[in-house]
Structure 1
């Protein structure tokens, strides 16, 4: 028996003596079959599992990860790897933060390129358990060590990394899109649907309208193609089809093509013709119908229909969802700035909601909307002769833009502030100088 193996078992036997436990007592306390425990402790035909070691640690009052540094010999012997023991071991090491145990094992696994599948399995198990941060390093190892660009394992690792990396940092998000984009069509069809949806959402927040349109077209085409196939998807296929149309409508809106955008909205507002359609599909159609109603209000407002403002505000208040409220207020303020009318009463009505917009700092779409709201609100305040509130909104927007690394908005805010610098208070000037310094640091 190897010294390391004996050391692992000697440590356990010492704890049994210290606590005055015999084999039957330990078996009862851990819930491990006494025969299996006996063979594991004696190293006879059965290696110890990481679950058994964890159970022993709990009985002996030890911290999670106890004796993990001695466990590798249960997994690797005479250059042979035990996949059934390595995968749960590395998963547990990642979960309890025993990174010191991971690196030596990884180096041995990577001695043979075929063993990368072990690392991928570890990453997948961590990801499925909601440990996306811990899984990231393992997916990156797969990306770094798989040379076959058409490997399904490589494509999925790129997809997972793309999903994990998404945050509010615009620069990182765009780099993530660029890295993942070449692999999107190499995913399985059901995974590709969600990948296209994520790509569309990220590019929406980055205002990359050509990319949004391209991915939305792919989403629509793929959902139609899969309609006749019995493929399990995260959500009903009608959702992917409808959301693809929704983003197409958004692109048309951003290009100022409001009439064309309305036609697109009407398309996903009426999807009862879709087949097959079960209860989940009907619920998705209801959701899309609600989104369509809100977006038709938006298009009417952006087209200059001032008479519908109060009706739209009532609709938003009835929904009582911050996501819808911030989106609606952007449209209302943007229209007010374009067509020079007053919406103070609407802003006052939703003042409580507006105060909560700063809670959006972790959500990709909502943080983008909050940023755009502050920018259009700053312009609105200046247009109505309220210079101090306008400067405050400009500085608020500048702070958000710097945090999100949305440099185009940083520049917009700097330009806006400089137009009104002479009216800024000492405190506002100091805040502005510190914000500009932070922006220069980000750019270095």
Structure 2
């Protein structure tokens, strides 16, 4: 049942009487100026804010969200909406789980299409506060209620939903790419850079090399245009503009590597090995430049190994150890084991050297990019053990790969691991065969 605007204040007055609090006592306990509180409670010239209501709820020992169902009349009166009160109200409703209040007020807000900006502002505030799940509901409302696909609100909402939905489920990740990709160029430039980089990363994790190449090239091109327009300092981005330019090149080189075009990849790597020309560079810019030098050196080592140069294995291992970064060690070892299988290297000493690091790789199971690197390291290691006729170790590694595929929901990779098991099935124990048979129904 709808109640009038005064009902909210009557409830508060009843609580003051119940607790025996004077107006001055309530002002003292809430920290609200007594004069302001008087005007708020009397409804004279000063409306109640959601912050006031939360402070009063705390003083009276009420749970978060107390009387929110009555607060809507502070926000909407005579069909007029108060944006300054509605936005924080929606945010607090989401934070306190008052979905009923959100549903009630949103229908009124969306009576006029122009008011979708209020929904968008609430979504952005929740997103900034780290309330991603709650913000997603508001962004979806924006998407569902804006008719103009070229609206900046639409593009940003699509982008936020793309970011929020990323996880370890490859099918959902790919679906989110498809839904967001058409809107990437409609974002403000500062978000375009971050969006293109994220698209490249997600597609890399999905091994969609054509898409990675396209987004990486767009990232490099946009960064280059902004650089030529001398907008290095003007573009408001999380990191220096040189970072986005370098990452575009890095992903271009990575795609060439995955396609087996190692010489072409080396050329691209050499381009980002020295980005000191990308001026002006402040402290953060120089730090990014130094970071790309490290990436370039590691990737040039990797390309040499992939091309069959076994003479630099120990030098490469020394370099990986000097970095003391688990993700770089994982990336390097995956390359080394893969190359060992291709070119017949013996890398037992390398694997022994990094045994402690390898035992920590399971921390990457939920990592967008490194989870697949971890899986493929394990797969290549299983193949390596079989080539060395250490069949018991090979079976153990293959079984572990199968369990990883199931945990990560990587069913295409699961089929490859199962094929490897089938090839060496005769070396498996009865227990291992029983485990394998129990998961066969998962294989497509």
Asked if TM exceeds 0.5, the reply is yes
- Out of 356, 370, 379, the residue aligned to residue 360 of structure 2 is 356
Which residue of structure 1 aligns with residue 137 of structure 2? Answer: 137
Paired residue secondary structure (2:102): helix
Aligned residues: 439
Q: Distance in 2 between matches of 1:431 and 1:47?
A: 66
Shift of 1:154: 0.2
Encode CA deviations 1:310-367: one digit per residue, 9 max, x unaligned.
1211211221211101101101100111111221221122222222211112221121
Paired residue secondary structure (1:121): helix
Q: Distance in 2 between matches of 1:355 and 1:433?
A: 27
Gaps of 5+ in 1: none
Which residue of structure 1 aligns with residue 12 of structure 2? Answer: 12
Answer yes or no: is the 8 Å Cα contact 2:3–2:70 preserved in 1.
no
Shift of 1:19: 2.2
Q: Distance in 2 between matches of 1:405 and 1:3?
A: 51
Residue 339 (structure 2) pairs with residue 335 (structure 1): yes
Q: Which moved more, 1:19-28 or 1:64-73?
A: 64-73
Q: Distance in 2 between matches of 1:395 and 1:102?
A: 49
Answer yes or no: is the 8 Å Cα contact 2:90–2:102 preserved in 1.
yes
Answer yes or no: is the 8 Å Cα contact 1:159–1:184 preserved in 2.
yes
Encode CA deviations 1:144-199: one digit per residue, 9 max, x unaligned.
11111111100110111111111121111111111111101111111101110001
Encode CA deviations 1:215-235: one digit per residue, 9 max, x unaligned.
111111111110112322221
Q: Which moved more, 1:384-393 or 1:408-417?
A: 384-393
Q: Distance in 2 between matches of 1:429 and 1:4?
A: 71
Q: Distance in 1 between matches of 2:288 and 2:328?
A: 17
Q: Distance in 1 between matches of 2:353 and 2:72?
A: 63
Residue 351 (structure 2) pairs with residue 370 (structure 1): no
- Out of 275, 282, 292, the residue aligned to residue 278 of structure 1 is 282
Residue 417 (structure 2) pairs with residue 431 (structure 1): no
Paired residue secondary structure (2:44): coil
Answer yes or no: is the 8 Å Cα contact 2:8–2:70 preserved in 1.
yes
Which residue of structure 1 aligns with residue 328 of structure 2? Answer: 324
Paired residue secondary structure (2:279): coil
Encode CA deviations 1:247-276: one digit per residue, 9 max, x unaligned.
111111111111111111111001111122
Which residue of structure 2 aligns with residue 49 of structure 1? Answer: 49
Answer yes or no: is the 8 Å Cα contact 1:171–1:406 preserved in 2.
no
Paired residue secondary structure (1:335): helix
Which residue of structure 2 aligns with residue 241 of structure 1? Answer: 245
Change (3 A) 1:208 1:276: same
Q: Distance in 2 between matches of 1:283 and 1:246?
A: 16
Residue 316 (structure 2) pairs with residue 312 (structure 1): yes
- Out of 359, 376, 397, the residue aligned to residue 393 of structure 1 is 397
Q: Distance in 1 between matches of 2:240 and 2:37?
A: 47
Which residue of structure 2 aligns with residue 149 of structure 1? Answer: 149
Paired residue secondary structure (2:369): helix
Which residue of structure 2 aligns with residue 98 of structure 1? Answer: 98
Q: Distance in 2 between matches of 1:290 and 1:137?
A: 41
Q: Distance in 1 between matches of 2:311 and 2:21?
A: 81
Answer yes or no: is the 8 Å Cα contact 1:246–1:268 preserved in 2.
yes
Paired residue secondary structure (1:244): helix
Which residue of structure 1 aligns with residue 303 of structure 2? Answer: 299
Change (3 A) 1:144 1:399: farther
Residue 415 (structure 2) pairs with residue 411 (structure 1): yes
Paired residue secondary structure (1:3): coil
Which residue of structure 2 aligns with residue 344 of structure 1? Answer: 348
Shift of 1:391: 2.2
Q: Distance in 2 between matches of 1:80 and 1:17?
A: 33
Q: Which moved more, 1:394-403 or 1:94-103?
A: 394-403
Computed over aligned residues only, the root mean square deviation of the Cα atoms, in angstroms, reads 1.6
Shift of 1:4: 4.5
Change (3 A) 1:436 1:104: farther
Q: Which moved more, 1:172-181 or 1:348-357?
A: 348-357
Which residue of structure 2 aligns with residue 177 of structure 1? Answer: 177
Answer yes or no: is the 8 Å Cα contact 1:169–1:403 preserved in 2.
no
Gaps of 5+ in 2: none
Q: Which moved more, 1:219-228 or 1:402-411?
A: 402-411
Answer yes or no: is the 8 Å Cα contact 1:399–1:435 preserved in 2.
no
Q: Distance in 2 between matches of 1:99 and 1:322?
A: 43
Change (3 A) 1:78 1:388: farther
- Structure 1: which 4+ aligned runs deviate by more than 4 Å? none
